[in-house]
């Protein structure tokens, strides 16, 4: 499965002002299984709301390790700037991706019936020193999308603008 959203605001490369539409995803949203999609679509919805281009893929550190290696090592070259990884159970996807790239990796632990997501939370958050994964709450895919937008907003003023509007909406109740 691959879902592409080509809408994107990016500052003009020369002037660093204004928004250009380019057809490249800035955020990669990965999930360990198609069964994670109902949760992980929250990340996509948040990024779409903030007008940040993104792509979604299913791949697994356990089931398709070569695909994960290929994606993580090639992401920077194809223009990806942040990677979000959602997985349940023994959730090693985010850690595996983080081991191959210096791009920031955000992990979303996904709940399963056995341990209510504690298994995925600990597998995602308890990374060894040297290889961080910024872990959000169990099922926190929407926050992962917002956090990705916030990371990008340091570089892209247009995204920052949209995030400030989001804060205003929150304050307005
Ligand atoms: P299935 O529903 O396909 O059996 O998957 C998935 O993220 C999913 O939540 C059950 C759960 O297995 C997880 N999975 C991982 C990884 N790959 C798949 N934790 C991984 O690479 O870490």
CATH number of the domain that 97 lies in? 3.40.50.1970
pLDDT value for 4: 45
Instruction: Decide if 10 is inside a domain.
Output: no
Instruction: Decide if 155 is inside a domain.
Output: yes
User: How many CB atoms lie under 10 A from the CB of residue 56?
Assistant: 23
Pocket test for ligand 1, best of 39, 43, 93, 125 (most atoms within 8 A of CB): 93
Atom of ligand 1 nearest to the CA of 86: 7
pLDDT value for 56: 98
Instruction: Specify the residue for token string 């060894």.
Output: 128
Instruction: Decide if 129 is inside a domain.
Output: yes
Q: How far is the CA of 35 from the centre of ligand 1 (A)?
A: 8
Q: Which residues have CB under 6 Å of ligand 1? A: 32-33, 35-36, 60-63, 87-93, 110
Instruction: Specify the residue for token string 């997985």.
Output: 87
pLDDT value for 99: 98
- Hey, whose CA ends up nearest to atom 2 of ligand 1? 35
Single pTM value for the model = 0.90
Write out the residue range of the structural domain in which residue 85 sits. Answer: 25-170
Instruction: Decide if 58 is inside a domain.
Output: yes
Count of domains observed in the chain: 1
Residue among 80, 73, 65, 52 at smallest CA distance from 162: 52
pLDDT value for 12: 45
Segments in the chain below pLDDT 50:
4-22
Instruction: Decide if 165 is inside a domain.
Output: yes
pLDDT value for 129: 98
């Amino acid at each position: 499965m691959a879902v592409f959203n080509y809408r994107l605001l990016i500052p003009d490369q020369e002037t660093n002002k204004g928004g250009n539409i380019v057809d490249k995803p800035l955020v990669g949203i990965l999930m360990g299984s198609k069964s994670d999609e109902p949760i992980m679509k929250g990340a996509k919805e948040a990024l779409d709301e903030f007008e940040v281009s993104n792509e979604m893929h299913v791949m697994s550190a356990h089931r398709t390790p070569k695909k994960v290696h290929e994606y993580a090592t090639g992401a920077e070259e194809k223009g990806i700037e942040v990677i979000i990884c959602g997985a349940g159970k023994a959730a090693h996807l985010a850690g595996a991706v983080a081991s191959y790239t210096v791009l920031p990796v955000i992990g979303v632990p996904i709940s399963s019936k056995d341990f209510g997501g504690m298994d995925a939370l600990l597998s995602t958050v308890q990374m060894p020193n040297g290889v961080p994964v910024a872990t959000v709450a169990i099922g926190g895919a929407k926050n992962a999308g917002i956090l990705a937008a916030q990371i990008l907003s340091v570089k892209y003023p247009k995204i920052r603008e949209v995030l400030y509007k989001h804060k205003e909406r929150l304050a307005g109740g």
